[in-house]
Amino acid sequence: MPNVRDHDASVYLRLQGDALSVGGYESNPIFWEEVSDKFAFGLFDLDWDVFMQHIEGAINRVPALEKTGIKSTVCGPGTTSVAFATYNQSSFAP
């Protein structure tokens, strides 16, 4: 399966090992005022209310996802700068 990106739904899908990663970019990210020097490679708790729009967009693009389980989740800042939007990602597996 090729990588898939749906700009309208702000979601992407890509194979990652034996799972399909589904990720999205928040349209209204929360920006930080202060970032700890020890946060490097840190993660956030996933906000399911926010991430559901990406899950729904992915299911709209690939309906079979509705019948799969979520293997793991990751939520962290974008890697280009602290001001970059937060990314959210889930790995789906059969």
| Model pLDDT for residues 65-89, shown as the tens digit of each residue | 998 888 888 888 766 544 444 445 5
Span 8-65, pLDDT tens digits:
998 999 988 888 888 888 888 777 788 888 887 888 888 888 889 999 999 999 999 9
With 60 as the cut, is the pLDDT of residue 1 above it? yes
Instruction: Please give the pLDDT value at position 74.
Output: 86
Q: Is 48 left (phi over 0), alpha (psi -120 to 50) or beta?
A: alpha
Amino acid at 19: A
Which of 3, 42, 47 shows the shortest CA–CA distance to 21?
Answer: 3
Higher pLDDT pick, 94 / 50: 50
Tokens of 3: 């990588």
Instruction: Please give the pLDDT value at position 36.
Output: 84
Residue whose entry in the numeric block shows the structure tokens 């700009």: 7
Span 47-61, pLDDT tens digits:
888 889 999 999 999
Kindly list the domain boundaries of the chain, sorted by start residue.
4-30+38-93
- The strand pair at 69-77 and 19-25 is best described as unpaired
Amino acid at 81: S
